[in-house]
Structure 1
Amino acid sequence: MDIYLNHTIVYCHDMFASAKFYEKIFGFKFIKVWENFAVVTVNKTLSLDFRDKECFTAQHYAFKVSDSQFDQILARIQHNNIAYGPGPENTYENEINHHYGGRGLYFKDPNQHLLEIITADYILD
């Protein structure tokens, strides 16, 4: 049996606003607030469960997307005037990268989590 990541908790300052941000930018589906979590489905096997917490360390979340999804997400980033850049240390030049024959970019969510979208897997050989 293949093993899949089922969900991960994403700490934030406002779980509802965070869930709506990911829905708006990525096109993920905000399901509902359940107990202490705002649940957003990424795909059939993965959800992001946003949970309010006063203090937390910002994390990095990378999503592999198709070329058309990349274009759609980039358009939503631009439409919402969100700064983005080609690398994790450069999220403000409004440029993308072309690593490994694909496209990628980095931007931050309202909680300062670093988000990455890529169209090609990293080559690790």
Structure 2
Amino acid sequence: MNINLVKFIVPCIDSIIAKNFYKRIFGFGSIKEEDKTIIVKINNTLKFKLEECEDYINNHYIFEVDEEYFKFIISNIKKEKLYFGDDINNLENKKIKKTSTKNEIYFIDPNSHLFQIYSKISFNPQ
């Protein structure tokens, strides 16, 4: 079976603030803007639909990225002096969780959604 998630609705208090945040931190670009709804391209197949609403729940988004992109995200988070942490219960210690298989961080976006970003570590025997 072939199944792909192609669009995910991200509830927002302010879709413009969310769009700009995702652009600065992740490099995501918007591809469509109407009223208070913005479509943001994550990659060739996945898009976020940033949709403003008054009542919403906070979501937990988990992304696996390559090592280079992980460093790019960390660099942008540090440039903006944002809080991040190495544990879901410690989002302000500004540490990266490092194991033998992956690097990982957690942080909160402007709409209080929790992001978990990790990169599998490539084994490179010397």
State the TM-score, normalizing by the size of structure 2: 0.89
Structure 2: 5+ residue runs without aligned partners? 122-126
After superposition, the CA RMSD in angstroms is: 1.6
Letter in 2 for 1:55: D
Letter in 2 for 1:57: I
CA contact (8 A) 1:31 1:39 kept: yes
Partner of 2:47: 47
| 1:31 positional shift | 1.4
Partner of 1:19: 19
Q: Secondary structure at the match of 1:58?
A: coil
Partner of 1:3: 3
Partner of 1:94: 94
Larger radius of gyration between Structure 1 and Structure 2: 2
* Offset from partner CA, 1:31-69 (integer Å, 9 cap, x none): 121365211010111000000011211110011111110
| More displaced 10-residue stretch of structure 1: 95-104 or 54-63 | 95-104
State the TM-score, normalizing by the size of structure 1: 0.90
Aligned length: 121
- Deviation beyond 4 Å, 4+ runs, structure 1: none
CA contact (8 A) 1:100 1:120 kept: no
Change (3 A) 1:7 1:100: farther
CA contact (8 A) 1:23 1:29 kept: yes
CA contact (8 A) 1:16 1:33 kept: no
